[in-house]
Homo-oligomer: A and B are copies of this chain.
Amino acid sequence: MLIVQKYGGSSVGTPERIKKVAERIARYRSEGHQIVVVVSAMRGVTDNLLDMAKTLAPLPNEREMDVLLATGEQTTIALTAMALHSLQVPAVSLTGAQAGIITDEVHTKARIQDITPQQIHAHLDQGNVVIVAGFQGQTLHGHITTLGRGGSDLTAIALASALGADLCQINTDVDGVYTADPRIVPNARKLGEIAYDEMLELAGAGAKVMQSRSVEFAKNYGVVFAVCSSLNDKPGTIVKGETKSMEDVVIRGVTLDKNQAKVTLVAVPDRPGVAGRIFKAMEQAAINVDMIVQNISHGADTPATDLSFTIDKADLPKANEVIGRLRDEMQYQEVIADENIGKLSIVGVGMRSHSGVAAKLFETLSSEGINIMMISTSEIKISVVIDLEKGEKATQAVHRTFLEEGRTLLSEPEIAETR
Q: Which residues of A contact B (CB under 8 A)?
A: 15-16, 18-19, 49, 52-53, 55-58, 60-61, 63-65, 67-68, 70-71, 74-75, 77-79, 81-83, 85-86, 92-93, 95, 98, 119, 142, 144
- In the bound complex, do residue A81 and residue B55 qualify as a contact, i.e. CB atoms below 8 Å apart? no
The 3 tightest CB contacts between A and B, nearest first, are A68-B78, A71-B71, A67-B78
Q: Which residues of chain B are within 8 angstroms of A65 by Cβ–Cβ distance?
A: 78, 82
- In the bound complex, do residue A79 and residue B56 qualify as a contact, i.e. CB atoms below 8 Å apart? yes
Q: Select which of B64, B79, B144 is within 8 A of A82 by beta carbon.
A: B64
In the bound complex, CA of A142 to CA of B138 (Å): 14
In the bound complex, CA of A57 to CA of B19 (Å): 10
In the bound complex, CA of A77 to CA of B65 (Å): 11
- In the bound complex, do residue B75 and residue A60 qualify as a contact, i.e. CB atoms below 8 Å apart? no
- In the bound complex, do residue A82 and residue B70 qualify as a contact, i.e. CB atoms below 8 Å apart? no
In the bound complex, CA of A61 to CA of B98 (Å): 18
In the bound complex, CA of A67 to CA of B82 (Å): 11
- In the bound complex, do residue B61 and residue A79 qualify as a contact, i.e. CB atoms below 8 Å apart? no
Q: Which residues of chain B are within 8 angstroms of A63 by Cβ–Cβ distance?
A: 92
- In the bound complex, do residue B79 and residue A53 qualify as a contact, i.e. CB atoms below 8 Å apart? yes
- In the bound complex, do residue A81 and residue B61 qualify as a contact, i.e. CB atoms below 8 Å apart? yes
- In the bound complex, do residue A83 and residue B71 qualify as a contact, i.e. CB atoms below 8 Å apart? no
- In the bound complex, do residue B71 and residue A74 qualify as a contact, i.e. CB atoms below 8 Å apart? yes
Q: Which residues of chain B are within 8 angstroms of A58 by Cβ–Cβ distance?
A: 86
Q: Which residues of chain B are within 8 angstroms of A61 by Cβ–Cβ distance?
A: 81-82, 85
Q: Which residues of chain B are within 8 angstroms of A68 by Cβ–Cβ distance?
A: 74-75, 78-79, 82
- In the bound complex, do residue A57 and residue B74 qualify as a contact, i.e. CB atoms below 8 Å apart? no
What are 9 A-B contacts with C-beta separation under 8 Å?
A: A15-B56, A49-B75, A53-B79, A61-B82, A61-B85, A64-B93, A65-B82, A68-B78, A70-B74
